[in-house]
Amino acid sequence: MRLCVNNQTAFGGMLQHLVELTSIVLRPEPLDAEIERRCKQAWKEAPCPDCGETTVNAGDSSPRLWCSNCRYTFTYTRNTPFEGRTLTPEEVIIAFVLYADTLLSINQVAQLFEAVYDTVHTTIREVEAAFESGFHLLWTHLQEDGDSPTQIDETGQKCSGFKGQTPPRDGLSRGGDGEPGRSRWEGAPGDTMTLVGACRDTLRVIRAERGAKPDELRQTLDEVEILTGKIDELWHDGWRGYAPLVYDNEKVVAHSEEFVTDEGVHVNQVECLWSLVNPWLQKFRGLSKPGLEQSVRTYGFVRTLNLAGVPLSGLIDCFAVSVFR
């Protein structure tokens, strides 16, 4: 394996040594077959990319598909995040799982493949966007229960300002408010963001916003409603920023008095989510604003699939259904 990694952490160095000793060997053949099968099945239900008719056919022994209407032929990776990658489809899945479902950084994940860091980083970030797009289509088929309460909460999160851009950060002159509290955005982009999380049953939706304004909180709840139906009951901690979010049935737990009311109202699911997402974010050693927005949404959706007990095939389906877009 060709490993081109700089500035490794101690764990990353150990991981590289294990790879060099061939103590860790990736054998993705069965996964490759599953990816091909599910992508072909998705294409059978999708319109032909040339004529638009739903007449695509696939054989068992060839990666190529054809349209019985216009005879157009193409491979099963077309319009999927596997198309045009240096990594094979099965390597893409493995890299994404290691990134999204472990505390390994992209730097450490890159050491498992015969690819440089930039290749793995670009692949994961672009595949991540496809996953977020495909998740919504998949979840509508997996989750039908929309009667349970929805919990909402927010927390602050630092991001790395002008990472990868110019001008670079200039110490304290960047203008943000580093103090804890409800005010999350008081200066140049990149200082402090607000993570807004909502939980209903197994669904976890997280957004990174510039501030904790009612209209921004509403976006998170709107997404929950899109995925699971109308919110009939909303639980929160009574913060005044939630006041404009008018719902027919709102229940409040005042943390200055208790964490669970006598009626059983709480926001423990979202609080637990913060305790899990924070260590996961720390592995990046700083994220830009766009990077933070994408990463926290990915974590929420992956956490959802885990809580719902969705197997790896569900993740593949998130990528396969992207052919419909």
Higher pLDDT, 248 or 197: 197
| 107 and 43 within one domain | yes
Q: Would 65 be classed as within a structural domain? A: yes
Tally the domains of the chain. Answer: 2
| 178 and 67 within one domain | no
- pLDDT above 50 (res 172): no
Instruction: Pick the last residue of a domain from 99, 126, 142.
Output: 142
Q: Would 96 be classed as within a structural domain? A: yes
- What band does 243 get if pLDDT is binned at 50, 70 and 90? confident
Q: Would 315 be classed as within a structural domain? A: no
| 274 and 174 within one domain | yes
Residue 260 has a pLDDT of 78
Report CA Rg, the chain.
22
Residues 209, 132: Cα–Cα separation, whole Å: 17
Instruction: Pick the last residue of a domain from 142, 165, 185.
Output: 142
Q: Would 109 be classed as within a structural domain? A: yes
Q: How many residues does the chain have?
A: 325
What's the CATH code of the domain at 205? 3.30.420
Q: Would 317 be classed as within a structural domain? A: no
Q: Which region among 17-26, 134-143, 159-168, 171-180 has the lowest average model confidence (pLDDT)?
A: 171-180
- pLDDT above 90 (res 112): no
- What band does 91 get if pLDDT is binned at 50, 70 and 90? very high
Residue 324 has a pLDDT of 66
* β-pair type (150-158, 64-67): unpaired
Q: What is the mean pLDDT of residues 293-315?
A: 92
User: What are the DSSP calls for 112-172, one per residue?
Assistant: TTTS-HHHHHHHHHHHHHHHHHHHHHHHHHH-----S-EEEEEEEEE--SSTTSSSPP-GG
- Residues 185-242 have pLDDT tens digits of 334 545 678 899 999 999 999 998 877 777 778 899 999 999 998 888 998 888 878 8
| 163 and 109 within one domain | no
| 265 and 217 within one domain | yes
Instruction: Pick the last residue of a domain from 142, 162, 185.
Output: 142
Residue 161 has a pLDDT of 54
Q: Would 45 be classed as within a structural domain? A: yes
| 106 and 158 within one domain | no
| 303 and 154 within one domain | yes
- What band does 145 get if pLDDT is binned at 50, 70 and 90? low
| 280 and 169 within one domain | yes
Residue-averaged pLDDT of the chain: 81
E strands in the chain: 56-58, 64-67, 73-75, 150-158, 192-200, 203-209, 234-236, 250-252
| 301 and 158 within one domain | yes
Give residue 114's domain range.
Answer: 10-142
Give, rounded to a whole angstrom, the gap between the first and last alpha carbons of the chain: 36
| 291 and 162 within one domain | yes
| 221 and 84 within one domain | no
Backbone angles phi, psi at 154, to 5 degrees: -140, 155
| 160 and 137 within one domain | no
Whether residue 180 has a cis bond before it, omega within 30° of 0: no
Q: Would 321 be classed as within a structural domain? A: no
Give the percent of the chain with pLDDT over 70: 81
- What band does 126 get if pLDDT is binned at 50, 70 and 90? very high
- Residues 26-69 have pLDDT tens digits of 677 788 899 999 999 999 989 999 999 999 999 888 999 999 99
Q: Would 276 be classed as within a structural domain? A: yes
